Structure 1
Amino acid sequence: MLGELDKYYYKLALIISENPSQTSKILKELSTTFGIRYINLNLELANYLVEIPFSERWLHVSKAIDEIILKNEDQSLVIDNTDILFEEHLKIDPVGVLKNASKYKKLIASLRARIENNYIIYANPQAKEYKKYKIDNLECYVINLQE
């Protein structure tokens, strides 16, 4: 899979599944098998932002992601539990953040989402965190675990 990433501008593989426990199991095995560092992004980012007032967290999220992902010495990372990136108060584009980081490191990242009609869909349209991404426009490797 890591070799496949060299074909793309963004060195990002998005693992799409609505079953987080299945995805985490697969990503942990991948991490162990290939010696790639595993990062629980929800935990790491929450720990970084916990002392920052809720209303100011959006100002610090980019720096936090740099600390967690970009300043990591490993050239390839497994990024799991990315739901925190979809929090509305952080005011970021979750996939855009992962794509930007993947210009510098190879990333295998999970998204608790579904694929419908060539779109990755996170949450339901009524939810505040709802996002929809056209796969053809992402310029990265997408793996659908729901198939």
Structure 2
Amino acid sequence: MRAPLADQVLRKIGEARELYYRLILMVGPSGSGKTSALQEVSARTAAPLVNVNLELSRRMLDLTERRRALHAPRLLGEIVGEATGELVLLDNIEILFDVHLRQDPLRLLQGLSRNRTVVAAWNGSIADGHMTYAAADHPEYRRYPMHDFLVVNTSVTT
């Protein structure tokens, strides 16, 4: 039987305390319950839930495309830094994959997870020991080996 996603995330939060990168990714397709799980974790832990698309785009409105690419990591760091506590939940991270920002989304998230535990919803899939974002022929496509972070796979029973 499958444990509720929020319970899976809460177990991973305990495991992450011992890791160099305290990053937990909830990986699954759109509509798989990631946002609901993050909302429940937020309610149960009082951790802030950040809509990255909204907050980061709001801070980049007045920047040129080039300056957005240069300032995105710092601005994301400020957003997470303003969140209180040792745990921060990130939802709607799709802006990090925008090709115009020229960022490595996983590296950004790993950097944020050095000083606090970060749980992020990742729209993608897991196959053959790799995590992907978008289809292989899509400009935002990313493929990463499964290491240096914890995963809650919304498509797998536990």
- TM-score of Structure 1 vs Structure 2, range by shorter chain: over 0.9
Distance 1:93 1:22 in 2: 25
Alignment partner of 2:148 out of 129, 133, 139: 139
* 1:11-22 to 2 correspondences below 5 Å: 11-20=22-31, 22=33
Aligned partners of 1:20 and 1:4: how far apart in 2?
26
Report the TM-score, using the length of structure 2 for normalisation: 0.87
The verdict on how the C-alpha distance between 1:109 and 1:9 changes in structure 2, with shifts beyond 3 A counting, is same
Point out 4+ residue stretches in structure 1 off by more than 6 angstroms. none
CA distance in 2, matches of 1:21, 1:131: 20
Q: Which residue of 1 is the match for residue 5 of structure 2?
A: none
Instruction: Indicate conservation of the 8 Å contact 2:32/2:154, yes or no.
Output: no
Aligned to 1:96: 107
How far is the alpha carbon of 1:21 from its aligned partner? 6.3
Match among 27, 32, 37 for residue 48 of structure 2: 37
Separation (CA, whole Å) in 2 of partners of 1:20 and 1:33 = 22
Return 5+ residue gaps in structure 2 as ranges: 1-10
After superposition, where does 1:23-102 map in structure 2 within 5 Å? 23-102=34-113
Whole-angstrom distance in 2 between the partners of 1:10 and 1:74:
17
Contact map agreement 1:45 1:65 (CA 8 A) in 2 = yes
Query: What percentage of aligned pairs have identical amino acids?
Result: 28
Q: TM-score by structure 1 length?
A: 0.93
Q: State the number of aligned residues.
A: 145
Matched, 1:8 2:23: no
Please, which runs of 5 or more residues in structure 1 have no aligned partner? none
Instruction: Answer with 110-119 or 15-24: which moved more.
Output: 15-24
Letter in 2 for 1:123: A
Which one-letter code corresponds to 1:37 in the other structure? P
